A and B are shown apart, each in its own frame.
Chain A
Amino acid sequence: MNKEKIAQFYSKYKIFIFPISVAIASLVLIVVVIYPQISTFLKNQSDFEDMSKRLQSLEVKAKDLEVLDVDDLNNGLAIAFASLPSDQDLATITGVIQRLATISGVSLASLQVNPGQVISLNGANGFTVKAEISGSKAAVSRFINNIDQSSRLMKISTIEISHSRVGSDLTTALLSVHVFYSPSPKELGPIDSELPQLTSDDQRVIATLAKAKTTVGFTSPTLPKGKSNPFD
Protein backbone atom coordinates (compact mmCIF):
# COMPACT_ATOMS: atom_id res chain seq x y z
CA MET A 1 0.00 0.00 0.00
CA ASN A 2 2.81 2.34 1.04
CA LYS A 3 4.90 1.36 -1.96
CA GLU A 4 2.06 2.17 -4.24
CA LYS A 5 1.64 5.54 -2.57
CA ILE A 6 5.33 6.25 -2.85
CA ALA A 7 5.33 5.17 -6.51
CA GLN A 8 2.36 7.41 -7.17
CA PHE A 9 3.98 10.30 -5.32
CA TYR A 10 7.25 9.84 -7.21
CA SER A 11 5.47 9.50 -10.52
CA LYS A 12 3.58 12.71 -9.81
CA TYR A 13 6.56 14.77 -8.59
CA LYS A 14 9.51 13.02 -10.25
CA ILE A 15 10.18 16.06 -12.36
CA PHE A 16 11.17 17.85 -9.10
CA ILE A 17 12.34 14.93 -6.98
CA PHE A 18 15.04 13.77 -9.41
CA PRO A 19 16.89 17.09 -9.89
CA ILE A 20 16.58 17.91 -6.17
CA SER A 21 18.09 14.53 -5.29
CA VAL A 22 20.90 15.12 -7.77
CA ALA A 23 21.49 18.60 -6.32
CA ILE A 24 21.63 17.23 -2.76
CA ALA A 25 24.01 14.44 -3.84
CA SER A 26 26.23 17.00 -5.62
CA LEU A 27 26.19 19.28 -2.60
CA VAL A 28 27.19 16.38 -0.36
CA LEU A 29 30.01 15.53 -2.78
CA ILE A 30 31.18 19.13 -2.80
CA VAL A 31 31.04 19.53 0.99
CA VAL A 32 32.41 16.13 1.93
CA VAL A 33 34.90 15.43 -0.86
CA ILE A 34 35.68 18.15 -3.37
CA TYR A 35 36.07 21.21 -1.11
CA PRO A 36 38.18 19.52 1.60
CA GLN A 37 40.37 17.81 -1.00
CA ILE A 38 40.96 21.00 -2.98
CA SER A 39 41.59 23.02 0.17
CA THR A 40 44.07 20.44 1.49
CA PHE A 41 45.64 20.17 -1.96
CA LEU A 42 46.26 23.91 -2.14
CA LYS A 43 47.67 24.05 1.38
CA ASN A 44 49.90 21.03 0.76
CA GLN A 45 50.98 22.48 -2.57
CA SER A 46 52.49 25.50 -0.83
CA ASP A 47 54.08 23.19 1.77
CA PHE A 48 55.36 21.01 -1.06
CA GLU A 49 56.94 24.01 -2.79
CA ASP A 50 58.61 25.01 0.50
CA MET A 51 59.85 21.46 0.99
CA SER A 52 61.17 21.33 -2.57
CA LYS A 53 63.04 24.60 -2.04
CA ARG A 54 64.43 23.30 1.26
CA LEU A 55 65.50 20.06 -0.43
CA GLN A 56 67.18 22.03 -3.19
CA SER A 57 69.06 24.24 -0.72
CA LEU A 58 70.09 21.19 1.34
CA GLU A 59 71.40 19.44 -1.78
CA VAL A 60 73.31 22.56 -2.85
CA LYS A 61 74.68 22.96 0.68
CA ALA A 62 75.77 19.31 0.86
CA LYS A 63 77.49 19.64 -2.53
CA ASP A 64 79.23 22.91 -1.53
CA LEU A 65 80.39 21.40 1.76
CA GLU A 66 81.69 18.33 -0.02
CA VAL A 67 84.01 20.34 -2.26
CA LEU A 68 85.32 22.58 0.54
CA ASP A 69 88.98 21.98 1.21
CA VAL A 70 89.53 21.19 4.89
CA ASP A 71 93.18 22.27 4.81
CA ASP A 72 92.29 25.67 3.32
CA LEU A 73 89.59 26.12 5.95
CA ASN A 74 91.88 25.17 8.82
CA ASN A 75 94.62 27.41 7.48
CA GLY A 76 92.15 30.31 7.16
CA LEU A 77 90.84 29.62 10.67
CA ALA A 78 94.34 29.57 12.13
CA ILE A 79 95.11 32.91 10.49
CA ALA A 80 91.76 34.41 11.54
CA PHE A 81 92.13 33.23 15.14
CA ALA A 82 95.71 34.51 15.30
CA SER A 83 94.40 37.87 14.12
CA LEU A 84 91.25 37.93 16.19
CA PRO A 85 91.33 35.41 19.06
CA SER A 86 88.20 34.27 20.84
CA ASP A 87 89.50 35.57 24.18
CA GLN A 88 91.83 38.34 25.32
CA ASP A 89 94.90 36.13 24.91
CA LEU A 90 96.98 38.36 27.18
CA ALA A 91 99.99 36.06 27.04
CA THR A 92 100.47 36.66 23.32
CA ILE A 93 99.77 40.38 23.13
CA THR A 94 102.79 41.48 25.12
CA GLY A 95 104.99 39.36 22.86
CA VAL A 96 103.39 40.80 19.72
CA ILE A 97 103.88 44.40 20.87
CA GLN A 98 107.46 43.68 21.92
CA ARG A 99 108.15 42.15 18.53
CA LEU A 100 106.57 45.14 16.74
CA ALA A 101 108.68 47.50 18.84
CA THR A 102 111.80 45.56 17.88
CA ILE A 103 110.92 45.55 14.20
CA SER A 104 110.10 49.27 14.26
CA GLY A 105 113.29 50.16 16.08
CA VAL A 106 111.80 51.68 19.20
CA SER A 107 112.55 50.91 22.77
CA LEU A 108 109.61 49.71 24.81
CA ALA A 109 109.81 51.40 28.19
CA SER A 110 106.61 50.10 29.71
CA LEU A 111 103.57 48.12 28.77
CA GLN A 112 100.35 48.25 30.73
CA VAL A 113 97.54 45.88 29.90
CA ASN A 114 94.02 46.75 31.09
CA PRO A 115 91.93 43.67 30.38
CA GLY A 116 89.06 45.03 32.49
CA GLN A 117 88.33 48.00 30.25
CA VAL A 118 86.37 46.33 27.49
CA ILE A 119 85.16 48.31 24.49
CA SER A 120 83.02 47.18 21.54
CA LEU A 121 83.60 48.00 17.89
CA ASN A 122 82.03 46.47 14.78
CA GLY A 123 81.01 43.29 16.60
CA ALA A 124 84.38 42.78 18.27
CA ASN A 125 85.39 43.39 21.85
CA GLY A 126 88.59 45.14 22.72
CA PHE A 127 90.75 45.95 25.72
CA THR A 128 93.33 48.67 26.13
CA VAL A 129 97.09 48.33 26.22
CA LYS A 130 99.21 51.35 27.05
CA ALA A 131 102.72 51.32 25.67
CA GLU A 132 105.42 53.82 26.46
CA ILE A 133 108.09 53.84 23.81
CA SER A 134 111.06 55.92 22.85
CA GLY A 135 113.03 56.15 19.67
CA SER A 136 113.65 58.33 16.67
CA LYS A 137 110.78 60.20 15.10
CA ALA A 138 110.82 57.84 12.12
CA ALA A 139 110.90 54.74 14.34
CA VAL A 140 107.95 55.95 16.43
CA SER A 141 106.05 56.67 13.25
CA ARG A 142 106.90 53.18 11.99
CA PHE A 143 105.74 51.64 15.27
CA ILE A 144 102.41 53.48 15.05
CA ASN A 145 101.98 52.19 11.49
CA ASN A 146 102.98 48.65 12.43
CA ILE A 147 100.52 48.60 15.32
CA ASP A 148 97.72 49.77 13.04
CA GLN A 149 98.56 47.24 10.32
CA SER A 150 99.45 44.37 12.62
CA SER A 151 98.02 40.98 11.72
CA ARG A 152 96.97 40.73 15.38
CA LEU A 153 93.99 43.07 15.22
CA MET A 154 94.66 46.28 17.13
CA LYS A 155 94.26 49.98 16.52
CA ILE A 156 95.82 53.09 17.98
CA SER A 157 93.40 54.86 20.30
CA THR A 158 95.39 57.81 21.62
CA ILE A 159 98.85 59.19 20.98
CA GLU A 160 100.91 61.43 23.26
CA ILE A 161 104.28 62.41 21.92
CA SER A 162 106.89 64.56 23.56
CA HIS A 163 110.46 65.51 22.79
CA SER A 164 112.97 65.58 25.61
CA ARG A 165 115.00 68.40 24.10
CA VAL A 166 114.16 70.96 21.48
CA GLY A 167 115.67 69.94 18.18
CA SER A 168 116.36 66.39 19.38
CA ASP A 169 115.18 63.44 17.27
CA LEU A 170 114.63 61.31 20.35
CA THR A 171 110.92 61.00 20.83
CA THR A 172 108.99 59.57 23.72
CA ALA A 173 105.49 58.38 23.03
CA LEU A 174 102.68 57.07 25.16
CA LEU A 175 100.31 55.10 23.03
CA SER A 176 96.98 53.69 23.96
CA VAL A 177 96.11 50.71 21.79
CA HIS A 178 92.81 48.89 21.44
CA VAL A 179 93.46 45.17 21.07
CA PHE A 180 90.51 43.24 19.67
CA TYR A 181 89.09 39.79 20.29
CA SER A 182 85.73 38.20 19.60
CA PRO A 183 84.08 35.15 21.15
CA SER A 184 83.17 32.45 18.62
CA PRO A 185 79.53 32.21 17.56
CA LYS A 186 77.70 29.71 19.76
CA GLU A 187 74.89 28.77 17.38
CA LEU A 188 75.20 27.34 13.92
CA GLY A 189 71.64 28.11 12.81
CA PRO A 190 69.15 25.69 11.23
CA ILE A 191 70.46 22.85 9.10
CA ASP A 192 68.93 24.31 5.94
CA SER A 193 70.39 27.77 6.52
CA GLU A 194 72.36 29.14 3.61
CA LEU A 195 76.04 28.28 3.66
CA PRO A 196 78.22 31.40 3.84
CA GLN A 197 80.55 31.78 0.88
CA LEU A 198 84.13 32.94 1.12
CA THR A 199 84.29 35.91 -1.22
CA SER A 200 87.34 37.21 -3.03
CA ASP A 201 87.45 39.97 -0.38
CA ASP A 202 87.66 37.32 2.34
CA GLN A 203 90.44 35.51 0.47
CA ARG A 204 92.27 38.80 0.06
CA VAL A 205 91.99 39.50 3.81
CA ILE A 206 93.32 36.01 4.63
CA ALA A 207 96.24 36.53 2.23
CA THR A 208 96.98 39.99 3.66
CA LEU A 209 96.85 38.69 7.24
CA ALA A 210 99.05 35.72 6.34
CA LYS A 211 101.54 38.07 4.69
CA ALA A 212 101.49 40.48 7.67
CA LYS A 213 101.90 37.55 10.04
CA THR A 214 104.90 36.30 8.09
CA THR A 215 106.39 39.78 8.00
CA VAL A 216 105.98 40.24 11.74
CA GLY A 217 106.88 36.70 12.63
CA PHE A 218 109.91 35.98 10.48
CA THR A 219 111.65 39.22 9.61
CA SER A 220 115.00 39.20 11.29
CA PRO A 221 115.36 42.44 13.20
CA THR A 222 118.10 44.67 11.85
CA LEU A 223 117.09 47.64 13.93
CA PRO A 224 117.83 48.22 17.64
CA LYS A 225 115.96 45.85 19.91
CA GLY A 226 113.41 46.94 22.47
CA LYS A 227 113.83 46.08 26.11
CA SER A 228 113.54 42.40 26.82
CA ASN A 229 111.54 43.24 29.90
CA PRO A 230 109.36 46.32 29.44
CA PHE A 231 108.85 46.67 33.20
CA ASP A 232 112.54 47.20 33.91
Chain B
Amino acid sequence: MEKISINLLPTENTAALRRQRQFVMIQTVSTIFLLVMIFLASITVALRFLQSQNISSVEVKAKSAEDSVSGFKDKEIALVVLKNRLGIINQIFPKPSKQAIAYQQVSNLVPAAVSVSSLSVDAKGTVLLSLISPSGTELKALVANLSDKKNFDNFSSVEIESLTRGRDGAYRASIKMIAI
Protein backbone atom coordinates (compact mmCIF):
# COMPACT_ATOMS: atom_id res chain seq x y z
CA MET B 1 0.00 0.00 0.00
CA GLU B 2 1.39 3.36 -1.05
CA LYS B 3 2.25 5.99 1.55
CA ILE B 4 0.47 9.30 1.16
CA SER B 5 2.56 12.43 1.88
CA ILE B 6 0.66 15.57 2.65
CA ASN B 7 2.35 18.94 3.36
CA LEU B 8 0.32 20.52 6.05
CA LEU B 9 2.25 23.81 6.05
CA PRO B 10 0.61 26.81 4.37
CA THR B 11 1.83 27.35 0.76
CA GLU B 12 3.02 30.95 1.60
CA ASN B 13 5.46 29.51 4.11
CA THR B 14 6.90 27.13 1.53
CA ALA B 15 7.41 29.98 -0.98
CA ALA B 16 8.97 32.18 1.70
CA LEU B 17 11.32 29.37 2.66
CA ARG B 18 12.35 28.88 -0.97
CA ARG B 19 12.97 32.63 -1.39
CA GLN B 20 15.01 32.63 1.79
CA ARG B 21 17.16 29.74 0.48
CA GLN B 22 17.66 31.55 -2.83
CA PHE B 23 18.67 34.72 -1.02
CA VAL B 24 21.16 32.87 1.16
CA MET B 25 22.70 31.30 -1.91
CA ILE B 26 22.94 34.65 -3.75
CA GLN B 27 24.27 36.30 -0.61
CA THR B 28 26.96 33.62 -0.24
CA VAL B 29 28.03 33.84 -3.90
CA SER B 30 28.02 37.66 -3.83
CA THR B 31 29.99 37.76 -0.62
CA ILE B 32 32.58 35.33 -2.00
CA PHE B 33 32.82 37.43 -5.18
CA LEU B 34 33.29 40.62 -3.16
CA LEU B 35 35.94 38.97 -1.00
CA VAL B 36 37.77 37.82 -4.11
CA MET B 37 37.66 41.38 -5.44
CA ILE B 38 38.99 42.76 -2.16
CA PHE B 39 41.71 40.10 -2.18
CA LEU B 40 42.69 41.01 -5.75
CA ALA B 41 42.75 44.71 -4.86
CA SER B 42 44.99 43.96 -1.87
CA ILE B 43 47.29 41.83 -3.98
CA THR B 44 47.70 44.53 -6.64
CA VAL B 45 48.40 47.17 -3.99
CA ALA B 46 50.94 44.87 -2.32
CA LEU B 47 52.61 44.12 -5.66
CA ARG B 48 52.86 47.81 -6.48
CA PHE B 49 54.37 48.45 -3.08
CA LEU B 50 56.97 45.72 -3.61
CA GLN B 51 57.65 47.00 -7.10
CA SER B 52 58.18 50.55 -5.81
CA GLN B 53 60.66 49.21 -3.28
CA ASN B 54 62.52 47.28 -6.00
CA ILE B 55 62.60 50.35 -8.26
CA SER B 56 63.96 52.49 -5.44
CA SER B 57 66.62 49.88 -4.71
CA VAL B 58 67.66 49.71 -8.40
CA GLU B 59 67.72 53.53 -8.58
CA VAL B 60 70.05 53.70 -5.61
CA LYS B 61 72.33 51.04 -7.10
CA ALA B 62 72.27 52.77 -10.52
CA LYS B 63 73.25 56.06 -8.89
CA SER B 64 76.15 54.35 -7.17
CA ALA B 65 77.23 52.67 -10.44
CA GLU B 66 76.97 56.03 -12.25
CA ASP B 67 79.24 57.55 -9.63
CA SER B 68 81.72 54.70 -10.17
CA VAL B 69 81.66 55.21 -13.95
CA SER B 70 82.06 58.99 -13.52
CA GLY B 71 85.12 58.28 -11.37
CA PHE B 72 86.76 56.67 -14.42
CA LYS B 73 85.75 59.41 -16.84
CA ASP B 74 89.35 60.10 -17.88
CA LYS B 75 89.87 56.46 -18.78
CA GLU B 76 86.59 56.39 -20.68
CA ILE B 77 87.48 59.52 -22.68
CA ALA B 78 90.90 58.06 -23.49
CA LEU B 79 89.37 54.76 -24.60
CA VAL B 80 86.64 56.37 -26.73
CA VAL B 81 89.16 58.68 -28.44
CA LEU B 82 91.61 55.83 -28.98
CA LYS B 83 88.93 53.55 -30.43
CA ASN B 84 87.69 56.34 -32.70
CA ARG B 85 91.18 57.02 -34.03
CA LEU B 86 92.04 53.36 -34.44
CA GLY B 87 88.80 52.86 -36.38
CA ILE B 88 89.85 55.56 -38.86
CA ILE B 89 93.48 54.42 -38.97
CA ASN B 90 92.40 50.83 -39.53
CA GLN B 91 90.44 51.85 -42.60
CA ILE B 92 93.26 53.84 -44.16
CA PHE B 93 96.59 52.47 -42.90
CA PRO B 94 96.59 48.81 -44.01
CA LYS B 95 95.55 49.46 -47.60
CA PRO B 96 98.30 50.66 -49.92
CA SER B 97 97.12 53.43 -52.23
CA LYS B 98 95.91 52.43 -55.67
CA GLN B 99 98.56 54.70 -57.16
CA ALA B 100 101.43 53.05 -55.27
CA ILE B 101 100.23 49.56 -56.23
CA ALA B 102 99.83 50.57 -59.89
CA TYR B 103 103.31 52.13 -59.92
CA GLN B 104 104.95 49.06 -58.37
CA GLN B 105 103.15 46.70 -60.73
CA VAL B 106 103.98 48.65 -63.84
CA SER B 107 107.61 48.99 -62.71
CA ASN B 108 107.84 45.24 -62.23
CA LEU B 109 106.28 44.47 -65.60
CA VAL B 110 108.58 46.66 -67.66
CA PRO B 111 111.53 44.57 -68.96
CA ALA B 112 114.99 45.80 -67.96
CA ALA B 113 115.97 46.71 -71.53
CA VAL B 114 112.97 49.02 -71.94
CA SER B 115 113.61 52.62 -70.85
CA VAL B 116 110.75 54.45 -69.23
CA SER B 117 110.73 58.11 -70.29
CA SER B 118 107.84 59.05 -68.06
CA LEU B 119 105.25 57.41 -65.90
CA SER B 120 102.31 59.07 -64.26
CA VAL B 121 99.52 57.79 -62.09
CA ASP B 122 96.68 60.22 -61.47
CA ALA B 123 94.21 60.37 -58.61
CA LYS B 124 91.75 58.08 -60.43
CA GLY B 125 94.41 55.44 -61.00
CA THR B 126 95.00 56.10 -64.68
CA VAL B 127 98.55 55.13 -65.56
CA LEU B 128 100.27 56.79 -68.52
CA LEU B 129 103.51 55.16 -69.52
CA SER B 130 105.91 56.52 -72.16
CA LEU B 131 108.75 54.21 -73.03
CA ILE B 132 111.50 53.51 -75.50
CA SER B 133 112.21 49.95 -76.45
CA PRO B 134 115.46 49.13 -78.29
CA SER B 135 113.74 46.40 -80.27
CA GLY B 136 110.35 44.92 -80.97
CA THR B 137 111.09 41.85 -78.83
CA GLU B 138 111.14 43.77 -75.53
CA LEU B 139 108.05 45.69 -76.50
CA LYS B 140 106.33 42.45 -77.33
CA ALA B 141 107.39 41.06 -73.95
CA LEU B 142 105.96 44.14 -72.19
CA VAL B 143 102.65 43.91 -74.04
CA ALA B 144 102.55 40.17 -73.25
CA ASN B 145 103.18 40.95 -69.56
CA LEU B 146 100.48 43.59 -69.46
CA SER B 147 98.00 41.34 -71.25
CA ASP B 148 98.82 38.36 -69.03
CA LYS B 149 95.74 37.03 -67.28
CA LYS B 150 97.30 37.29 -63.82
CA ASN B 151 98.10 40.99 -64.37
CA PHE B 152 94.81 41.72 -66.00
CA ASP B 153 93.08 41.60 -62.60
CA ASN B 154 94.96 44.77 -61.61
CA PHE B 155 93.96 46.89 -64.59
CA SER B 156 90.53 47.37 -66.05
CA SER B 157 91.97 48.41 -69.41
CA VAL B 158 95.33 48.51 -71.15
CA GLU B 159 95.56 50.66 -74.24
CA ILE B 160 98.48 51.41 -76.55
CA GLU B 161 97.86 55.06 -77.40
CA SER B 162 100.73 55.51 -79.81
CA LEU B 163 103.55 53.45 -81.25
CA THR B 164 106.30 54.79 -83.51
CA ARG B 165 109.56 53.36 -84.80
CA GLY B 166 112.50 55.73 -85.09
CA ARG B 167 115.38 55.74 -87.54
CA ASP B 168 117.54 54.19 -84.84
CA GLY B 169 115.25 51.16 -84.84
CA ALA B 170 113.94 51.95 -81.36
CA TYR B 171 110.23 51.80 -80.65
CA ARG B 172 108.56 54.67 -78.82
CA ALA B 173 105.21 53.82 -77.24
CA SER B 174 102.61 55.45 -75.03
CA ILE B 175 100.49 53.06 -73.02
CA LYS B 176 97.45 53.96 -70.96
CA MET B 177 96.22 51.67 -68.20
CA ILE B 178 93.42 52.08 -65.73
CA ALA B 179 94.11 50.54 -62.33
CA ILE B 180 91.22 48.85 -60.56
Residues of A in contact with B (beta carbons under 8 Å apart): 14-15, 18-19, 22-23, 25-26, 29-30, 33-34, 37-38, 40-41, 44-45, 47-48, 51-52, 54-55, 58-59, 61-62, 65-66, 68, 70, 73-74, 76-77, 80-81, 83-84, 121-124, 137, 141, 144-145, 147-149, 153, 155-163, 166-167, 176, 180, 182, 184-185, 188-189, 191-192, 195-196, 198, 201-202, 205-206, 208-209
Residues of chain A contacted by B82 (CB below 8 angstroms): 73, 76-77, 80, 198
The answer on a CB contact under 8 Å between B89 and A123 is no
The answer on a CB contact under 8 Å between A205 and B89 is yes
**Beta-carbon nearest neighbor of A73 in chain B:** B78
**A161 and B81 alpha carbons, distance in the complex (Å):** 39
The answer on a CB contact under 8 Å between B79 and A84 is no
Contact residues on B (Cβ < 8 Å of other chain), bracket: 35 or more
The answer on a CB contact under 8 Å between B40 and A185 is no
The answer on a CB contact under 8 Å between A149 and B96 is yes
Given A29-B38, A45-B51: A61 and B69 interface contact (C-beta under 8 Å)? yes
Interface residue SS majority, chain B: helix
The answer on a CB contact under 8 Å between A19 and B55 is no
The answer on a CB contact under 8 Å between B84 and A159 is no
Q: Does B173 contact A (CB under 8 A)?
A: no
The answer on a CB contact under 8 Å between B47 and A162 is no
Residues of chain A contacted by B51 (CB below 8 angstroms): 41, 44-45, 48
The answer on a CB contact under 8 Å between B72 and A65 is yes
Q: Which 8 A-B pairs have the closest CB atoms?
A: A58-B65, A37-B44, A65-B72, A22-B30, A62-B68, A196-B83, A80-B85, A122-B91
**A80 and B88 alpha carbons, distance in the complex (Å):** 10
- By CB atoms of chain A within 10 A, which of B40, B73, B77, B97 has the most? B97
Q: Does B132 contact A (CB under 8 A)?
A: yes
**A143 and B169 alpha carbons, distance in the complex (Å):** 35
Q: Does B135 contact A (CB under 8 A)?
A: no
Q: List 6 A-B contacts (CB under 8 A).
A: A25-B37, A38-B44, A83-B89, A144-B104, A158-B99, A180-B92
Q: How far is the CB of B46 from chain A (nearest CB, A)?
A: 9
**Beta-carbon nearest neighbor of B36 in chain A:** A26
The answer on a CB contact under 8 Å between B132 and A166 is yes
The answer on a CB contact under 8 Å between B54 and A48 is yes
**Beta-carbon nearest neighbor of B116 in chain A:** A163
Q: Does B12 contact A (CB under 8 A)?
A: no
**A46 and B37 alpha carbons, distance in the complex (Å):** 25
Residues of chain B contacted by A70 (CB below 8 angstroms): 75, 78
A-B CB contacts (within 8 Å), total count: 223
**A66 and B62 alpha carbons, distance in the complex (Å):** 17
**A66 and B72 alpha carbons, distance in the complex (Å):** 7
The answer on a CB contact under 8 Å between A15 and B85 is no
Out of B26, B70, B76, B86, name the residue touching A18 (CB < 8 Å). B26
Out of A77, A147, A153, name the residue touching B89 (CB < 8 Å). A153
**A196 and B82 alpha carbons, distance in the complex (Å):** 10
The answer on a CB contact under 8 Å between A205 and B97 is no
**A157 and B33 alpha carbons, distance in the complex (Å):** 85
Residues of chain A contacted by B29 (CB below 8 angstroms): 19
Within 8 A of A (CB), among B16-46: 19, 22-23, 26-27, 29-31, 33-34, 37-38, 40-41, 44-45
Out of B69, B81, B87, name the residue touching A184 (CB < 8 Å). B81
**Beta-carbon nearest neighbor of A27 in chain B:** B37
The answer on a CB contact under 8 Å between A51 and B80 is no
**A43 and B33 alpha carbons, distance in the complex (Å):** 27
Interface locus among B118-126, B139-147, B156-164: B118-126
Residues of chain A contacted by B52 (CB below 8 angstroms): 44
